[in-house]
A and B are shown apart, each in its own frame.
Chain A
């Protein structure tokens, strides 16, 4: 469904944020994109959504297609209309607006009646959001904000939902609730999900395929069980060394291992 091929993205014409990224997401599939800080994960999502230009970002190579049609160069609202929507990192709610106004803005590409219908769907998925519908979004707790952010994206009835670090700063219980909802969406509504996460364990638990990106390059990919067996992944992403102990961040081996799967 979504195909990203050898994509290269630069900021300000010089900063190479993404050097070579290829990934694909199939209908109804949950795919996760893992990587450390600054690896280029958010940049890839912004590239797919068409919102690099306000930050002076440019796709200088490769292709991004949705069902065979190129998304590069299309306006963000056209991309939303074609069924691809993103929940940005850090939730980015419209703080001064009420929860309901936030949600309705997620449905701006639809007719008024379509949006009202979608609003009920979101309330079914996140009953807690319904209780807060008239609250100013900036006053919500982090977990509630994440639910509103996901709900807002769902208002456009996407075929592909992209989530940028939805677990960031949330309590385990809330994370479980949100991940369960995402998992249901893909199973019941056949929505595809591209999940960017730092929390690899969590992401691998619901994804059916995973990519690992380092310094702007996809360096490894495969189904979760394959990646979880990989010593490097265990060490750097799941936080265990070969002997099963928590790794030490300052361990010299860190650098050596990194080298190994980059080559």
Chain B
């Protein structure tokens, strides 16, 4: 039983990061119908930027996070403006190809600037942690749980109560009508990219703090992908919950069945779930027609 609890809790700790990464994918897909294959890379880029900032100035964790949130928003806006907006009017598939190209580019740029050696993201929370009975959680893991909760709440408030958030849902529902009503759809897209990049940035700083940096950090984006599919691709909150589910599942399958299964268990589960619910656990049923 204790072993089960241990696996579950540490599964949640990694799952919340999958959840955060997944929210970013889902938001972009919901608002713009594009699967952003560069999401993991954007996350990696910002975690390396965080490394440079943290090595130049000694900032407390929250200070660093705040600076990175700001930088990520700019990174998101720039990427949208330079790579995505010119693709407006082209079919979605071409835009997806652009994100794949962007992903490869960012990987190269990161190695070029920061090198291929693993790095540590120096923060003031270091190796501190809290013990809950037999379960030990790093402070950074606790922060990750809190930050996911905060992002979910923030997204909910944004999408429900702000004009821009409602406009984003309206655009997702019917783009042409959104145009007809005078919604600035280009603006909506840009904001969606900015917010997704901010969420990527938060997950990047957390990953860097918990596991350190390496040029393969982008693979975490891939690892989080089952969460998005499981959640239903267009469900921002579904992605958050599914992230936790996948994290726990990976840990349990590794703990009880064996090494190696961890990497694929998420993908196995989505295969099964999608056979039963092609639009994911929380997605909109129409999605299956896409």
Contact = CB atoms under 8 A, between A and B. Distances in A.
Interface of A: 49-51, 53-55, 76-77, 79-81, 85-86, 88, 92-97, 101-102, 104-106, 108-109, 112, 152-153, 156
Interface of B is mostly: helix
* Of A55, A76, A94, A153, most B-chain CB atoms within 10 Å: A94
Given A80-B180, A105-B178, 9 more contacts: A49-B180, A50-B179, A76-B179, A79-B182, A106-B181, A109-B181, A109-B182, A112-B163, A156-B182
Interface residues of B, number: 19
Given A105-B183, A108-B183, A109-B182, A92 B177 contact: yes
Contact of B170 (A50, A105, A156): A105
Top-9 shortest CB links A-B: A80-B182, A109-B182, A77-B182, A76-B179, A94-B173, A92-B177, A94-B170, A105-B170, A101-B166
Nearest to B160: A101
A94 B174 contact: yes
27 contacts: A51-B176, A51-B179, A53-B89, A54-B89, A76-B179, A76-B180, A76-B182, A77-B179, A77-B182, A79-B182, A80-B181, A80-B182, A85-B180, A85-B182, A88-B176, A88-B177, A92-B177, A94-B174, A94-B178, A95-B174, A97-B166, A97-B169, A101-B166, A105-B178, A108-B167, A108-B182, A153-B181
Contacts of B178: 94, 105
B169 A96 contact: yes
A82 to B, nearest CB: 10
Interface of B: 89, 163, 166-167, 169-170, 173-184, 284
A95 B175 CA distance: 12
A95 B180 CA distance: 16
A77 B163 contact: no
Contacts of A85: 180-182
